[in-house]
Amino acid sequence: MALAAKPYLQRITALFGADVDWDSHPYSVPAVRALESIDFHADVTFFIGENGAGKSTVLEAIALALGFSMEGGTRSVRLNSAGAVAPLHQALRLAKSYKTPKDGYFFRAESFHNIATYMDEVGYLGSYGGRSLHAQSHGESFMAVLLNKFKGKGLYLLDEPEAALSPNRQLAALRVIHQLVQDQSQFIIATHSPILLAYPNAKILLFDGTGMSEVAYEDTEHYAITRDFLNHYPRRLEQLFAPD
C-alpha cells in the first residue's frame, strides 16, 4: 500500500520543560496544561469549546511551530503587531508527512485587518482577486482569500473563519473546503459554527476545563443548542427573559 501524503501534519506532542510556570499564561489554560498530543485528521480537524478555552492559543502555537507569523497569512508574511510571541510553540514537536504541502495559510479573523493593510502596503493584490481587501466587506474579503489564495495541496489553519460569513456564505465556504480537501488539502479549524462543524467525518476536539476530548457532531453543544433554539425559539426566549 502506498504511503498516504496526508495528513501533512500528523501529530503534535507537547514537551514541557521542568521550568514551566503552570500558573502563568498560556500554561494555566486547562487545555494547554493537559496537552500531551493531538493526532490530526487527514482532512479536517476542528477545535471547539467555550470562549477562553484555549483554541486560539493552541492553534497559534501550531502555526508558529509550522513557520507562520503570529498575525497569520502565508508563510512569507512577516508581521507581528500582535505583541510578544507566545513561547508555547517551542514546546511542540511536530510529526509530519514525508510529503510537504505545496500551499499554506494561517487565517485569523481577529488580525485579518492587519494582513489586509500589509497586502496593500506591499502592493500584493494579484492573488487576492485583484482588489484591495479593504475595498471589500469583511465577508467578501475572506471569501476572496478562500477562493483566490488557497491553491490546494495545502495545509490551512483557520481561526473562526465564520466570523465574517453569512449563513449562506458559510455553506459556500464548506463547499470550497470540500473541494480543497479533495485536492489533497488538510485543515485545522477553530470554530463556533454549527454549519462548518457539519463537515463529514471530521475530527472534532472539544477544549474544556479538563483538557481535550473528541466528540461527535450531534453531541456538540453547537449542534444541540442551535437545533433546540431554532425549533422552539418563542418558548426559549420566554424562558430566557423570565424574571428570576
Ligand X SMILES: Nc1ncnc2c1ncn2[C@@H]1O[C@H](COP(=O)(O)OP(=O)(O)OP(=O)(O)O)[C@@H](O)[C@H]1O
Pick 153 or 222: Cβ nearer Mg ion: 222
Contact 33, 128 (CB under 8 A): no
Q: Which segment (54-62, 75-83, 91-99, 201-209) binds Mg ion by CB under 5 A? A: 54-62
| 11 touches, from Mg ion, ligand X, none (C-beta below 5 to 8 Å by class) | none
* Nearest distance, CB of residue 58 and ligand X, angstroms: 7
185 interacts with Mg ion by CB under 5 A? no
Pick 47 or 128: Cβ nearer Mg ion: 47
Pick 51 or 231: Cβ nearer ligand X: 51
Pick 96 or 138: Cβ nearer ligand X: 138
Phi, psi of 202 (to 5 degrees): -70, 160
Residue 169 in 3-state DSSP?
helix
What lies within 8 Å, CB to CB, of 74 at 6+ separation is 68, 104, 105, 149
56 interacts with Mg ion by CB under 5 A? yes
170 interacts with Mg ion by CB under 5 A? no
Angstrom CA distances, 187 to 4, 43, 60, 117, stand at 16, 6, 14, 25
Footprint of Mg ion on this chain (CB under 5 A)? 56
